[in-house]
Structure 1
């Protein structure tokens, strides 16, 4: 096979600037964009083919929890690949899968009963939805009428059709609405910045949202709902939005009232990202089913998972004992090896304590540096999972027009030699379509001097971007 020399062709960047690019055979996310060539990673830095060394302030999409080039993780994966790279789980299991699942179950202090390892957050949510449905079929007596799910507007639970259907991200759903199942409905998110009424206390806000969820159960038929699905800290769709105190206890009570399950999507906010291994530990509420991903394997292999409570697993085991679901690459040995070694490092190096300490510093410094900026409407987050939401008018919280691509342009500008910082763009945080935010989610082993540099660099980036925008 001879590799052909790629010829330069003109391409336009997202901000409309045409620049030379090489012809590609890759079906990229955006066919009109000239993607930078990533050569390697060195600790908390990404090195591009053109020599730029970029500080990774977001770990991709909050994936890179240990930084890049970790020798221990690489060796663990290679050792497993040489031993056995693939496991046909219809016949076999592997020691590395058993050990990883045992660790995950034990990390929940007795609440969860089993773990199911897949390759992406979307796959995990598909499995969680099917497990919730099958749970009600396995109950004695069974409840086959339970076919519905309730989630929240401006939520994102995955890009596959089932996961997309139970989510509420308008932009990602729009082109595929005719293909999505119609048995999923949505209630308001818990968004203190945009959702609370003037003068409303947290307690009153929680009561209002809990009543809205209760009313939705009544509207669709309380005995038809399988589960309520939510992220403890909303990631890509709302930009690191934590719930107000007491919210998840209130919605859990509504679910118990009607016998529905509670599913927590912790693909982005879990596995230590917000300061505890499981984000729900900070809410005082444990879910019936939980999805995990991203920081589970830190980007060293594609790996995600589902955790099911002992109660859910007891019902399944006393029933058919067969989960009617499966993937060719579920429990992939190399993925399990990466995840297990990443979790060992987090534990041995006490990195969750560092997430909490550096998260507190990041929170304080972001607010000191940018809270007064006229285009920064809100700064929110938890642990090492923070976001800036940008507004055209701070007094009214009016978002920028969609066509301005504010978050994406800020992130693009950050890659230039004046800043050399990577942050993650998001949109739809105002109403599902409008609303720009950037996510700052560095590695768990970040140092205080790196936090200081990161905040100051992002501060300069935001200042410069909006100064240029005002001059246009």
Structure 2
């Protein structure tokens, strides 16, 4: 076998080679067909091989593919920022473009800290976050991430620890049930602010629906309204990390719109470029930007490829395509249907502990014993096994974390492109059911 010089997730792993993609399908060099049930890493939201996007990228490349943000602006970047201001709720009007969700999260952190400097309150520097969260793999973003499996190798180098409980109703950390719980998990933010001192807190960051670290943990009604009220009470900015959830994935442009809550800064990625070109953004409100305009006029952040016109042209074409085909609305319809079908499978496959999420962002938590929600022992790698079996069946799933904090637990995410049809959904379910039958046999033998 020919030697590879490419570092893989498992350094010398032999992975199949993909030849091309069309819609919700990928095709290997060996001819095998894969149904992309996770949109890659919940990224390829409009599917593969969309001609409108590649044509827009080609046209931009013929004009100019790079300008440095300190020297020039570009029509593509300006148009993308304008389109986002049109699409996003409230006064979220100011876009800072970067290359990845991790960079966007760190840019949002810097915006929040500098906002308070511009306001004459420089002691407000801490960023609060939740356990069961993931904000990126760079050191700053990882410091905010309540994802023990990804933190463990770098613990001594991380600047902070998450301090707020996650809205994990299936395994409530307070042993309560909604609504009698009175949203104790949301009130935990107030406890954290008071313990650390509001004079030291710049912002609170949260994924509206927890992605990789919680397999689509979806807070109950009233949760983010309570979070917003607490942030306002203590002069703390609220950052919504919508890297995985944003741009139509949950049935709305932003997942936070499922609640009556407007963030001060939004972090975008993944679905913004839909896998066609690397791009992400930190989008700030008029409120956040006003002190900068009246003060230093500088946000101390930036990258060589920030505002890259090639990526901006791709993202703009993606957003126009989503508008044209009403993909957020389609995600809501298809997601409801897919969730219903998956829940109908639970009696046949009791290892499916909970099906949760919104739109086409669906998490499945696995349990070894459905009666007491006992998770699979970590050493069995049950989630990885389910993903492996699905892959053999030509279905791509996304591995996720769930279960008992710091211990056992497995989950997967199903998040196909928003373009998926009812017939393609039926095929996804067929392949997933076949996978579940095989997983049940593995569980019995184990």
Structure 1 residues 197, 143: CA separation in 2 closer, same or farther (over 3 Å shift)? closer
CA contact (8 A) 1:170 1:433 kept: no
Provide Cα deviations, 1:133-176, integer angstroms capped at 9, x if missing partner. 0000001xx11111211110010000000000011111111110
Higher alpha-carbon deviation: 330-339 or 194-203: 194-203
Is the aligned partner of 1:173 residue 2:173? Answer: no
Which residue in 2 is equivalent to 1:224?
Answer: 200
Determine the C-alpha separation between the residues in 1 that align with 2:430 and 2:366.
Answer: 17
Q: 1:113 offset after TM fit, Å?
A: 2.6
| Aligned with 1:402 (options 357, 361, 378) | 378
Q: Deviations over 1:372-431 (max 9, x none)?
A: 522111110100110111011112212112221212221122122xx2111111124432
For the structure 1 residues 197 and 223, does the alpha-carbon distance in structure 2 shift closer, same or farther, using more than 3 Å as the test?
A: closer
1:255 aligns with 2:231: yes
* Length-normalised TM-score, structure 2: 0.97
Match of 2:391 in 1: 415
DSSP-derived class of the 1:96 partner: helix
SS in 1 for 2:48: coil
1:235 to 211, 217, 220: 211
Q: Which residue of 2 aligns with 1:70?
A: 50
Other-structure match for 2:62: 82
Equivalence map 1:34-433=2 (5 Å): 34-139=14-119, 142-182=120-160, 184-195=161-172, 200-202=177-179, 204-206=181-183, 208-370=184-346, 372-416=348-392, 419-433=393-407
Deviation at 1:273, TM superposition (A): 0.2
Q: Are the equivalent residues in 2 in contact too, given 1:188–1:209 (CA < 8 A)?
A: yes
Q: State how far apart, in whole Å, the 1-side matches of 2:5 and 2:297 are.
A: 45
Unaligned runs of 5+ in 2: none
Tell me the secondary structure at the aligned position of residue 299 of structure 1.
Answer: coil
User: Which string of whole-angstrom CA distances, capped at 9 and with x for unpartnered residues, describes residues 321-366 of structure 1?
Assistant: 1111110000011111111001101101111221111111111111
Structure-1-length-normalised TM-score: 0.92
Q: Map Cα deviations across residues 178-214 of structure 1 (whole Å, 9 max, x no partner).
A: 11113x44211001111165663325241x1233211
Q: Is the 8 A contact 1:153 1:188 kept in 2?
A: yes
What is residue 4 of structure 2 aligned with on the other side? 24
Runs of 4+ in 1 over 4 A off after TM superposition: 196-199
Q: Hey, what's the Cα distance between the residues in 2 that align with 1:456 and 1:285?
A: 38
Contact 1:233 1:243 in 2 (8 A): yes
Give 1:463 shift: 2.1
Q: Report the CA distance between 1:46 and its aligned residue.
A: 0.7
Counterpart of 2:408 (choices 412, 434, 439) is: 434
Q: Partner of 1:323: helix, strand, or coil? A: coil
Correspondence for 1:463:
437
The Cα RMSD (Å) is: 1.5
Matched residues, number: 446
Aligned residue in 2 for 1:17: none
Distance 1:165 1:197 in 2: 25
Other structure's SS at 2:356 match: strand
Higher strand share: 1
For 2:115, what is the secondary structure of its paired residue? helix
Q: In the alignment, which residue of structure 2 is the partner of 1:4?
A: none
Q: Distance in 2 between matches of 1:238 and 1:329?
A: 31
